[in-house]
Amino acid sequence: MSGTNKSPNVALVGRPNVGKSALFNCLVGRKIAIVHDQPGITRDRISAVCRRGEQPFVVWDTGGVGGAGESELSTEVRRAVEEAIRDSDLLLFLVDAKDGLTPLDQELARMLRKSEKPAVLVVNKIDTEKHENLAVDFASLGFSESLSISAAHGRGISDLIESIDQLLPFPSAADQSLLTSHQSLSIAIIGRPNVGKSSLINSIVRSERAIVSELPGTTRDSVDILYERKGQKFLFIDTAGIRRRGKQSSSVEVFSVMRAERSIRRADLCVLIVDLTMGVTAQDKRIAGLIQKARKAALVVLNKWDLIRPKHSERKMMAQLVNETRARIFFLDYAPVLIASALTGENIEKLFEVIAKVRRAARERMGTGVLNRLLRSAFAANPPPMVSGRRLKLFYVAQASGIPEAALEPLEFVLFVNDPRLLSETYRRYLEARIRKAKPYPGLPIILTCRPRQETRRK
């Protein structure tokens, strides 16, 4: 849950039935993780963090693409592979030793080689030493890194993790010094294509005597922008970079969930940009959901105000837009909503004021006495419901100390209770609302962690 988390991405690529899911489960050490539904793209993607190596990395399974037994790659599979290539730091190319080399493998291999991304050929289903010779078949694919494993039997997995460790990029020196200085607040500007993300970055960095430097981002076509303003450092991550002035933007960006998730994960704060001429779309909602799920600090910018500004009752319309937005993305109700124009620069200054407010709120702690009284009275006013004859009992609550070196401390309250399983989602929301009534904590997700009072450690 660290705000400065920046795990690299490793994607599993291979034709159907070579054992991608088995390897996935081997790496993450449990059966199946989160499944993402992507609109317009009819396949599911699964990701989870592997912590078995020196540094944690995120494993992506490109999923159940295409049917087994097909002789050529469907457009859909091709697209999935291209996306995986673009968005990951390392590719694991999985083949099936029992089936031998197939034309589909050859085609995939060509795509991977062309990409110049680091890749490891992983020959699966080598269940015993005796089968090692089956791997020879694949040498003709020309991968310099190659390993044989058995995902089903867990054979060769430690060696694989070791090579992954060696091949993953470590943060560049510049990045590292940025990360260790812990001075800069990492901000991800996210949104659908054409909502004005690049325009916003441009509008921000073009102002006054800004000190701006572009650092390589995590994909080839993205950069991180370090921006200093009034002595404070901001790192805009995974942006398309600063476009030269006057050059018309022609955004060819494709929205990718994997990419958005990665940016969200790296960020201390997420700025979701919504195009006012379109309103909050289903896709915007989905991105908001990703932010909420990652429990990141957030704010929403409704952009292109200049295009819809009415002649009269401007304020009334603004209030209405904010309300409508809140209603559409109610689950992100902690995020302040700002109306702005990246084109005219209107309210861009305000954006930084709101960011400062969020940062201040993150440092605000509730006194233990106040907090305990507050939650006790919340319990008394509206007691938790009985769950199978038992009721949640609160013994004590404390605000967690956060991560001292983080640019933005996560807000976490630890409730010591009789049994954490008795806290229902509805009741959790109720308690959160009570906390926010006492202190609004704008822009910050509230994490309520329940611990049993007795030292009975499960897990």
Binding site for ligand GDP (CB under 6 A): 191, 193-199, 249, 251, 253, 303-304, 306-307, 341-343
Enter the DSSP assignment of 172: P
Distance of alpha carbon 267 from alpha carbon 457, whole angstroms? 32
Q: How far is residue 42's CA from residue 240's CA, in Å, rounded to a whole number?
A: 27
Question: What is the C-alpha separation between 94 and 74, in angstroms, rounded?
Answer: 18
Contact by Cβ (8 Å): 115, 39: no
Q: Least separation, in Å, of the C-beta of 426 and ligand GDP?
A: 37
Of the pair 107, 253, the CB lying nearest ligand GDP is at 253
CA distance 410 to 173: 26
Q: For ligand GDP, give the closer residue by CB, 223 or 407.
A: 223
Displacement of CA 324 from its chain's centroid (Å) = 25
Q: Minimum CB separation from ligand GDP for residue 58, in Å?
A: 24
Distance in Å, CB of 428 to ligand GDP, minimum: 34
Nearest to 331 by CA among 284, 289, 274: 289
User: Which residue carries 């960020």 as its tokens?
Assistant: 267
**CA-based torsion, 241, 230, 294, 11: positive or negative:** positive
Smallest distance from ligand GDP to CB 223, Å: 13
Residue number with CB closer to ligand GDP (249 or 368): 249
Least distance in angstroms from the C-beta of 209 to ligand GDP: 23
CB of 252 to ligand GDP, least distance (A): 9
Looking at the Cβ atoms of 109 and 340, the one nearer to ligand GDP is 340
Helix and strand counts by DSSP (H, E) for the chain: 13, 19
Residue closer to ligand GDP (CB basis): 157 or 322: 322
* Separation between Cα atoms, residue 127 and residue 107, nearest integer Å: 26
- Cβ–Cβ < 8 Å for 186, 407: yes
- Nearer CB in complex with ligand GDP: 121/287: 287
User: Could you tell me the smallest distance in angstroms from the CB atom of residue 256 to ligand GDP?
Assistant: 13
Burial label for 104, CB within 10 Å (0-12, 13-18, 19+), is buried
Closer residue to ligand GDP, CB minimum distance, 243 or 376: 243
- Residue 145 burial (10 A CB sphere; 0-12, 13-18, 19+): middle
Q: Which is nearer to ligand GDP, 66 or 191 (CB)?
A: 191
The least CB distance from residue 241 to ligand GDP, in Å, is 10
Closer of 247 and 458 to ligand GDP (Cβ): 247
Q: Which residue is nearest to ligand GDP (CB)?
A: 196
| CA neighbor of 164 nearest in space, from 122, 133, 124, 131 | 122
Query: 67, exposed or middle or buried, with CB in 10 Å at 0-12, 13-18, 19+?
Result: exposed
CB of 77 to ligand GDP, least distance (A): 27
Two structure tokens written together for 270: 């997420």
Q: For residue 459, with 0-12 CB atoms within 10 Å meaning exposed, 13-18 middle and 19 or more buried, which class applies?
A: exposed
C-alpha dihedral sign at 15, 18, 22, 24 = negative
Q: What tokens appear for 359 in the block?
A: 């940062």
Least distance (Å) between residue 283 CB and ligand GDP = 12
| Closer residue to ligand GDP (CB): 220 or 376 | 220
Tokens at 148, concatenated: 């044989």
